[in-house]
Amino acid sequence: VNPLETVTVGLGDRSYEIIVGPGALARAGTHISPLLRQPRTIVVTDPVVADFHLEALSRSLSDSDIAFETIVVPAGEEAKSMAELERLLARLLELGIERSSCIVALGGGVVGDLAGFAAAVALRGIDFVQIPTTLLAQVDSSVGGKTGINTQAGKNLIGAFHQPRLVLADTKVLDTLPRRQLLAGYAEVVKYGLIDDPAFFGWLEGHGAALLGRDDAARVKAVVRSCRAKADIVAADEREAGRRALLNLGHTFGHALEAACGYGDILLHGEAVAIGMVMAFELSVRLGHCPADHADRLRRHLAAVGLPTDPQHVDGVIFSADDLRRRMATDKKVKDGHLVFVLARGIGEAFVSNSVDVDALTAVLEDSLAA
């Protein structure tokens, strides 16, 4: 049996562990059992993940004498809706949950965000465990306690901070994930290197391809390093008053691109973030903060693994600089009318700026659209 790695998210009496490694799912019962206040749990998952991985979880829970019910929510972003939340809450209440109940979210960021939010509000808050099954969820959404749903007004605008009791990231479950989804999650891995870990970025340049293949050792290393980076930031700034904003590197541009594409299959979140990170570096170069060769190095690595690096790579969509700029101004990361941008002095040296020159922003947008 492979030893599993552990990362701790230090939040006082709400601290929890992220357990990483191949085989974590098969040992879920052993890890979850000590946390349960009754030998019973409710698994929330989507039909795609259920097909591939519910059986392994079921077996493990049964082996640990944990009784469970399963609630299947639809796959995909549409499940993060008020209607699905209502359905999920109704079902949970029907099953007779109590304050001492615990939900297990088995799936990607969609299942985690929806089930986590349901756990935050059901009976004013019950426990939940995250078993993330996409790379994006393993390195990002399952850690940090942000939960929520989308509305007409935008993505993730209704939600709650609700930390899980445990995160189990089984790198083996990524074997069934479509490559495009795997790559999208990889963009967030690269982000951690860009924020404050140039050595990790260098390691990714050498090992990214292996990680995106089926090299479990490389996957474990990348997931652990990413979770540790996010855990440190979250422990220092749980509710995004300062340092946590660094996690939005590439996201102001990325969200504008995603919104322009309608949050669908045209452009996945991670793909938008990949393009957005390149644009954030270009903006940093233009503002004189960052040497141009750092932006080139980032672009080269993303392209080498197969991620898009500029808006021209998005098939069938024509973006306009005006439209993107307007969308950035309505992004929720706006502070007192100024756009908050994460810029960089180089790879591994990101910083938050709220005084970005509008002309420089326009120039970067126009350049990238004209390329």
248 counts as catalytic? yes
Which of 155, 230, 294, 299 is the catalytic position?
230
- Distance, CA of 152 to chain centre: 21
Catalytic site residue 327? no
Query: Which strand (E) or helix (H) includes residue 40?
Result: strand 40-45
Nearest to 44 by CA among 8, 85, 98: 85
Task: Determine, following the binding rule CB under 6 A, whether residue 134 of this chain makes contact with ligand NAD.
Answer: yes
Which amino acid, 27?
A: R
CA distance linking residue 263 with residue 251, whole number of Å: 14
Q: How far apart are CA 359 and CA 334, in angstroms?
A: 18
- DSSP three-state, residue 213: coil
- Determine if 250 is a binding residue for ligand NAD (CB under 6 A): no
**Taking CB under 6 A as the rule, does residue 137 contact ligand NAD?**
yes
Considering only residues 295 to 314 of the shown chain, the ones binding ligand NAD according to CB under 6 A are none
144 binds ligand NAD (CB under 6 A): yes
Position 28 contacts ligand NAD (CB under 6 A):
no
- 112 or 208: whose CB is closer to ligand NAD? 112
48-56, 119-127, 193-201, 343-351 -> range binding ligand NAD (CB under 6 A): 48-56
Decide if 214 is catalytic.
no
Residue of the chain from 17, 77, 205, 323 that contacts ligand NAD (CB under 6 A): 77
d(CA 143, CA 47): 23
Q: Can you tell me whether residue 16 is helix, strand or coil?
A: strand
Is 140 a binding residue for ligand NAD by CB under 6 A? The answer is: yes
Q: Kindly tell me the sign of the dihedral angle through the C-alpha atoms of 247, 249, 253, 254.
A: negative
CB closer to ligand NAD out of 265 and 322: 265
Given the residues 240, 325, 333, 349, select the one marked as catalytic.
Answer: 240
8 A C-beta contact, residue 110 and residue 79: yes
15 binds ligand NAD (CB under 6 A): no
- Give the DSSP per-residue string, 56-118: HHHHHHHHTT-EEEEEEPPSSGGGSSHHHHHHHHHHHHHTT--TT-EEEEEESHHHHHHHHHH
Positions in the binding site for ligand NAD (CB under 6 A): 46, 48-49, 52, 75-77, 80, 107-111, 113, 133-134, 136-137, 140-141, 144, 146, 155-156, 173, 176-177, 181, 269
Catalytic machinery residues: 124, 146, 188, 230, 240, 244, 248, 251, 255, 269
